[in-house]
Structure formats: structure tokens, C-alpha cells
Amino acid sequence: MGFGFDEIHGRPETDSSSFTALLELPPPQAVELLIKEDFPAKPMPPPIFPSNIALIDRASKFSIYASPDNSPDSTAILPASSSMKLDLVKQEPLESDSHPNSSSPAVSNQSSKSGKRKEREKKAKESNKKSQKVAANEASELSGEKLPYVHVRARRGQATDSHSLAERARREKINARMKLLQELVPGCNKISGTAMVLDEIINHVQALQRQVEFLSMRLAAVNPRIDFNLDAVFAAESGSSIDNSYLGMFDPSIWPEGQINGSRQNLYQQPLHFDGLHQPSWGREDDTSNFISPEDSLLSYDSPPNSAENGAVKRRARVSQVARFVYTGYN
Amino acid sequence: MKARMQNSSSSAALLKQEFLKKWINGLQTYTNTKKEMTILDRKNAIKLSADIAIASTRNFSTNWSRAVMADVSKNVDGSSKIVTEKILGRKETCIIKCSKNIMRKSRLLAHRRRAIRRTIGRTSVKAASAIAKELVKKRTRVLKRLVPGGKQMNEICLIKETLDYIASLQVQVDVMRNIANAADHQCLDSTERSLL
């Protein structure tokens, strides 16, 4: 009866507040959830299933690594085990085995003797070999974040010593997270094998870091002033709506250039794209072609209100004159 | 499904706005410098502000953001301190000092751990699984070098941090690209107008 930590796969998890649900969500939502909440700062409360609390009690007592200190652990185990599919418990062939054991502790109060507990644990371990259920990976993940002990069931025909069990739990944690990563990085879904997936991930991270460098160089080249183009951007942009909430963040005195017509909203209505691999090629082309063109635009940049910058502007203007000459030569 | 996509886009938009706001705040510290900045100086300033901004959007709950701030505060450059203060505020600069100490201590521990591991002998098994494991280990080492603060993390944390780091990098790149495009459009428009 008591071994309630059963496999979960096939259970559609709609409540998105649990970490286990996170793993089953399709990628963009999963990452969005990660971004939205401070990942992984808060341990998320698991959903309490409408299951038999008595079963949960018994299940908690039969956990493999339960300490002799009973009561705090059993209450802590409650949330973890509540997320298990307890209707599978009834199919357990171990029921009959553990019934004679379970009847006494289930009925009696929770403070059982440690000797009896160890005996029960040994029986649990032996019967694990006969178990046909897959180890409760999700449970171990969830409980691994909240509880000191990991509750894992050994698979059929596999070693049950604590070392290999712990290692398997660890491996499963890693695999679950790798799956999330795979979904985040574009093009990784079809690749099988950890080494290849890691290759793709490394490439993606390197590409993103390089893009940041290019873009900051590009922005540095565009304008003589470092608090660069926002005023010009907003003045020149002929957007229809003004994002008041956004513009309200900035002190309007920063932009002495009159009306701010720009709409930030237009730029930000794209959803968070994870197709970074498609965009970089486009972005990089822009970089190479724009290295020359932004500089000749400096000529047309209106004199900044801050007169202290005039020296810098004049120097840039001279540079840009040369650049424009070269550029027109290209055309 | 659509509602979720909208949710994700709105939260992504919020993140982007937050990043942009902090980034601009940091850049404003440079407006008052009288000296002329070369293009490299400007690029470094832009990149520095962007990095600090994106790290602070995580509120330093992740390892990589703390590592970024520790690296930044290592450079004994007056301007970086000013930028940090501008973006974060006085209180949080203490957090950065704490994170520096944490990084230093964990680095010492990591050294000791690595030394111990090396003394254990290496077996030269040529099984396919061993080769695969070796490959995975190599890649993990590379990834540890890439992700800031990755050297002191175990594998599980490394993958978690990579996940977060990739998402934040994506936000950073998107915002920077949008601004760069807008600036270019504006400049090109004005050149066209001046030519006409």
C-alpha cells in the first residue's frame, strides 16, 4: 500500500505552478515561466491532489531514506507525495507484502521505533527489485529541492544501493534540465546525444555573446554621444501611438528636442524570439555594411544641445567626411 | 495557447523595458565626461552598461549575474563604479562586494577540489561509453568557461544557469538590435533629407 512514489508520465499537468509542470510544458512557455519568476529562487508549492491522505501518510512512512526522526519528515514528505498518482498505488504488487507491516504503523501513532522502521525499509528495498514501476524522477526532483532526502525507486533488475540510486537521481535531474535547454536552443530538438546538444548550446551562447559585442560596436559607431540616439530616435520616429507608460519612466528634460513622437511599443511587441540563429546572419550582414554608412550620417547629426561636446562632434564630423567619401566611392 | 504566448510576450516586453531603462541610466553617467572618447571607449562603455543592466534584471538571484558583477567590480576603474552605482543604487553595491568574496572563496575551494581529483589515477578504458563521456566532459568544460561564474558550479547548476543566461542574452541582443536599427533608420532618413 504505502509506496506511493510512482511514475508520473502521461499525466497532463495543467497547473503551471509546480516545477514538475515546468518540465512538461512546451518550450516557449517553460522559458517564459522561467523568466517571469525568479528562477530558480523560489521553491514552488506543488498542487495538492485530491488523494487519500491516509495513503500519503503510509507512503511517507515507507520512504526509503526516511530518518528516524519521524514527524517533521512525514509532514515534509506530504507535499511531495501528494503530487504522485496515488491511484497507481493500488496496482502495486507490493501491497500484499507490505500490508501486514503497514497495518500496525498506519494505525498506531507516527512515532515508531527506528528498528522497526529499518526493517520496513529493508523490505521496501527488496521489493523494489520486483517493482515494475519506473522510478519517480519527478518526485525526486521536486523533493530534492525542498527535502533533505531523495525518494527514488529502483528499476527492475538494477542495483539498489544508495550510491547508484543517488547517482541515478542526479542523472535524471541533469537529463530533465538538458531537455529544457534543448527546447530553448533552436535546432536542438532533432539532435540526439548529450555531446552534440552541448555543442549546439555552446555555439548558441558564443553566437549571442558575439552579437552583443557587434551591436555595442555598432551603437558606438553610430553616434558621437554616448547617451546616444534616444532623443533623436524618438524625435524622428513617426509612430502612431505614444507609449506613455514607457516614456513616463524617463525624465522628459533629458530630451530638449521637442516632441517625442516615438513609440517604443512598436519595437517591443514582438514576443521573445528564440530563433536567435535566424537573426544573427541578418544582423551580422547589417554590421558589416553599416560600419561605413553610420559614420557618414554623423555629418547630418544636428549639433547637440550640450556645447561641451562640440569638440568631439567636430572631430567626428571630419572622420565622417572621409568615410562618406569612401562610401560613395564604393557605390 | 494564444493567451500564453501573449503572456510570454508581455513578460518579455517587461523584461526588455526594465533592461533598457537600466541601460540608459548607466549610459547617462557618461554624458558629463568632458574628455573625448574613442570609438573603442564608447563601445566598452556601452557594453559595460548593458552587462550590468542585464545582470541586475535578475536581481542577483542567479550565479551568473553575481559573477558578472564580481568581474565588473574587479576592474579598478572609476567609471565602472559610477555606472554600477547609478544603475543599482547605493545599497546594492554592498551586495556586489559580498559576491566578490563569495567568488573568491569558492574559487579556492574549486582549486582544492581539482587538485584532489587529479591525484586519483586515470583509467585508460577505450569503451565507447567512456569516449562519449570524455566528449561530454570536454564540452562541459568549454561551457563552464563561457558562462560567467561557471567554473565554480556543479553540472546541475551549470545547466540551470546556462538556461537563464541564454534567455537573458537573448533579451539583451534583442533590445540592442532594436535600438541600433532605430538609430540607423533615423540617421539614414536624415541623410536622405539632407541630400534632397
Of A142-151, A178-187, A267-276, B115-124, the range with the highest mean pLDDT is A178-187
Computed over every residue of chain A, the mean pLDDT equals 53
The pLDDT of residue B26 = 77
Instruction: Return all residues near A106 (Cβ < 8 A) that are at least 6 apart.
Output: A1, A2, A54, A57, A58, A61
Q: Band the pLDDT of A55: cuts 50, 70, 90.
A: low
Residues of A in contact with B163 (CB under 8 A): 31, 34, 39, 177, 180-181, 184
Alpha carbon of B37: minimum distance to chain A alpha carbons (Å)? 8
pLDDT in tens, B139-175: 888 888 888 887 888 888 888 888 889 999 999 999 8
| Exposure string over A185-194, b if 16+ CB within 10 A, otherwise e | bbebeeeeeb
Which of B40, B146, B189 comes nearest A236 by C-beta? B189
Please determine, for residue B18, whether its predicted confidence score (pLDDT) is greater than 70. Answer: yes
The pLDDT of residue B124 = 60
Cα(A294)–Cα(A314) distance, integer angstroms: 16
Cα(B109)–Cα(B127) distance, integer angstroms: 32
- Partner-chain contact A226 B182, CB within 8 Å: no
Average of pLDDT values for B3-26?
A: 77
Lowest mean pLDDT among A95-99, A209-213, A252-256, B104-108: A252-256
Instruction: Return all residues near A189 (Cβ < 8 A) that are at least 6 apart.
Output: A182, A183
Average of pLDDT values for A258-273?
A: 38
Phi-psi region of B60 (alpha: psi -120 to 50; beta: other; left: phi over 0): left
Least Cα distance to A135 among A152, A148, A122, A149 occurs for: A152
pLDDT in tens, B36-63: 677 787 788 788 888 888 888 877 778 8
The pLDDT of residue A205 = 92
- Partner-chain contact A184 B166, CB within 8 Å: yes
Residue A3 CA, chain-centre distance (Å), reads 31
Which of A202, A219, A294 comes nearest B146 by C-beta? A202
The pLDDT of residue B64 = 82
Grid coordinates representing A314 are 567636430
Lowest mean pLDDT among A68-82, A188-202, B135-149: A68-82
Average of pLDDT values for A215-240?
A: 60
Q: Band the pLDDT of A195: cuts 50, 70, 90.
A: confident
- pLDDT > 70: percent of chain B: 66
With cell 510512482, the residue in question is A6
Computed over every residue of chain B, the mean pLDDT equals 76
Q: Band the pLDDT of A100: cuts 50, 70, 90.
A: very low
- Partner-chain contact A216 B47, CB within 8 Å: yes
A246 touches chain B (CB under 8 A): yes
Burial-class residue A258 by CB neighbours within 10 Å (0-12, 13-18, 19+).
exposed
What part of A 195-234 touches B (C-beta under 8 Å)? 195, 198-199, 201-202, 204-206, 208-209, 211-213, 215-223, 225-230, 232-233
The pLDDT of residue A307 = 41
- Partner-chain contact B166 A28, CB within 8 Å: no
pLDDT in tens, B64-76: 888 887 777 776 5
Lowest mean pLDDT among A140-149, A258-267, B64-73, B137-146: A258-267
Average of pLDDT values for A29-45?
A: 47
Q: Band the pLDDT of A210: cuts 50, 70, 90.
A: very high
Q: What is the largest CA-CA distance in chain A?
A: 94
- Partner-chain contact B135 A195, CB within 8 Å: yes
Domain of B64, in residue numbers: 13-195
Least Cα distance to B99 among B79, B78, B72 occurs for: B72
In a domain, B3, yes or no: no
In a domain, B94, yes or no: yes
Lowest mean pLDDT among A197-201, B2-6, B143-147, B161-165: B2-6
The pLDDT of residue A329 = 43
Alpha-carbon dihedral sign for residues B164, B165, B170, B173: positive
With cell 544641445, the residue in question is A305
The pLDDT of residue A206 = 93
Please determine, for residue B13, whether its predicted confidence score (pLDDT) is greater than 70. Answer: yes
B11 touches chain A (CB under 8 A): yes
Alpha carbon of A36: minimum distance to chain B alpha carbons (Å)? 6
> CB B190: neighbour CB atoms within 10 A?
17
- pLDDT > 90: percent of chain B: 3
Cα(A185)–Cα(A203) distance, integer angstroms: 10
- Partner-chain contact B191 A296, CB within 8 Å: yes
Phi-psi region of A157 (alpha: psi -120 to 50; beta: other; left: phi over 0): left
Please determine, for residue A126, whether its predicted confidence score (pLDDT) is greater than 80. Answer: no
In a domain, B144, yes or no: yes
- pLDDT > 90: percent of chain A: 4
The pLDDT of residue B74 = 73
Please determine, for residue A300, whether its predicted confidence score (pLDDT) is greater than 60. Answer: no
Cα(A95)–Cα(A288) distance, integer angstroms: 70
Cα(A237)–Cα(A232) distance, integer angstroms: 8
Cβ proximity of B46 and B24 under 8 Å: no
Least Cα distance to A106 among A187, A29, A177, A1 occurs for: A1
In a domain, B8, yes or no: no
The pLDDT of residue A150 = 62
Which of A177, A195, A212 comes nearest B172 by C-beta? A212
Which helix H or strand E contains A35, and what residues bound it?
helix A27-36
The count of residues in chain A is: 331
Alpha carbon of B113: minimum distance to chain A alpha carbons (Å)? 19
Cβ contacts below 8 Å, chain A against chain B, sum to 227
Grid coordinates representing A2 are 504505502
In a domain, B1, yes or no: no
| Number of structural domains chain B divides into | 1
For residue A47, the one-letter residue type is P
In a domain, B23, yes or no: yes
Q: Is the ipTM of this complex over 0.85?
A: no
Grid coordinates representing A144 are 530534492
Burial-class residue A2 by CB neighbours within 10 Å (0-12, 13-18, 19+).
buried
Please determine, for residue A227, whether its predicted confidence score (pLDDT) is greater than 60. Answer: no
In a domain, B5, yes or no: no
In a domain, B7, yes or no: no
pTM given for the model: 0.52
Q: Nearest chain A Cα to B23, which residue?
A: A227
> CB B139: neighbour CB atoms within 10 A?
19
Least Cα distance to A284 among A231, A234, A213, A188 occurs for: A213
The pLDDT of residue A272 = 38
Burial-class residue B20 by CB neighbours within 10 Å (0-12, 13-18, 19+).
buried
The pLDDT of residue B119 = 53
